[in-house]
Amino acid sequence: MPKKQFAVIGLGRFGSSVARFLSEMKYEVLAIDNNSERVQSLAHIVTQAVTADSTDEETLRALGLRNFDVVVVAIGSDIQASILTTLILKELGVPRLVAKAQNDLHGKVLARIGADRVIFPERDMGLRVAHQLISPNILEHIELSPEYGIVEMEAASGMIGRNLRELGIRAEFGCSVLAIKTGNRMNISPGAEDLIREGDVLVIVGRNQDLHRLERSYAES
Q: Which residues contribute to the site for ligand ATP (CB under 6 A)?
A: 9-15, 32-35, 38, 53-55, 74-78, 81
CB of 6 to ligand ATP, least distance (A): 16
Beta carbon nearer to ligand ATP, 11 or 72: 11
CB of 90 to ligand ATP, least distance (A): 16
Beta carbon nearer to ligand ATP, 107 or 149: 107
Beta carbon nearer to ligand ATP, 82 or 135: 82
Question: Which amino acid is present at 197?
Answer: R
CB of 122 to ligand ATP, least distance (A): 8
CB of 143 to ligand ATP, least distance (A): 21
Between helices 36-43 and 13-24, what is the axis angle to 10°? Answer: 20
Beta carbon nearer to ligand ATP, 23 or 34: 34
Q: Beta strand 176-182 with 201-207: parallel, antiparallel or unpaired?
A: antiparallel
Q: Cα separation of 73 and 123, whole Å?
A: 17
The residue at minimum Cβ distance from ligand ATP is: 76
Beta carbon nearer to ligand ATP, 56 or 69: 56
CB of 169 to ligand ATP, least distance (A): 39
